[in-house]
Structure 1
């Protein structure tokens, strides 16, 4: 029973991850539409879209990692543990650098505008 429940939880987390990334992509696209419609492609709109997508991607990656951890709890042989370790290292690496880029972009926005603009929050 534990294996079945864990399998469903992992599947749910993977679906949640895909949904999170899809919502983030749609959100970023919607943030870009005014700039595309005006044909300016302003740096502010692109930056806001990039920051928004980055935040959603971070959340999606966390859900994917959680699903991998649950799947490894179901069948903990050394091959699965090694794969989880490799995936965790890669995703942690991606999360670290993406989060660092987001923090730098927010810091630059604060320096440029004196405070964080509403579209970057």
Structure 2
């Protein structure tokens, strides 16, 4: 039974990582389309439309980071040795710092757009 739970957990972790990849791929595609629209509709300068594209991309990247962290937590839950726990702590710290700075950048951009 224990091996079955490990197997299921690993499959769920792979699915969650696949969701993170899908989120990033779709977000980048959406950002490229939005950027091209903003670039060709304006004078090539930063516009509110291009800022909106950046903010939307940042939101999706934050979601993808959360998915990736969830997959790491699942993997650590099935193999909790000290090495894995240390790696999870380092990864969680880096992703939390990235999320913090992305959130701060988004708030700053939103204030500037008003």
Please confirm whether the aligned pair reaches a TM-score higher than 0.5, indicating the same fold: yes
Segment of structure 1 superposing worse, 77-86 or 48-57:
48-57
The residue that corresponds to 1:6 in the other structure is 9
Using the TM superposition, give the Cα deviation of residue 32 of structure 1 relative to its aligned residue in structure 2, in angstroms.
1.1
Gaps of 5+ in 1: 111-121
The residue that corresponds to 1:75 in the other structure is 79
**1:1-121 counterparts in 2 under 5 A?**
1-38=4-41, 40-44=43-47, 45-110=49-114
Give the 3-state SS of the residue equivalent to 1:43 in structure 2: coil
CA RMSD of aligned residues (A): 1.2
Using the TM superposition, give the Cα deviation of residue 41 of structure 1 relative to its aligned residue in structure 2, in angstroms.
2.2
Per-residue CA deviations over 1:36-62 (Å, capped at 9, x if unaligned) read 334622412321221111011000000
Using the TM superposition, give the Cα deviation of residue 27 of structure 1 relative to its aligned residue in structure 2, in angstroms.
1.1
Runs (4 or more) in structure 1 with deviation over 3 Å come to none
For residues 41 and 101 of structure 2, what CA distance do their matches in structure 1 show? 32
For residues 73 and 38 of structure 1, what CA distance do their matches in structure 2 show? 49
How many residue pairs match? The answer is 110
For residues 108 and 83 of structure 1, what CA distance do their matches in structure 2 show? 37
What TM-score, normalized by structure 1, do the two folds share?
Answer: 0.85
Per-residue CA deviations over 1:82-109 (Å, capped at 9, x if unaligned) read 0000000000000001011101111111
What TM-score, normalized by structure 2, do the two folds share?
Answer: 0.90
Give the 3-state SS of the residue equivalent to 2:113 in structure 1: helix
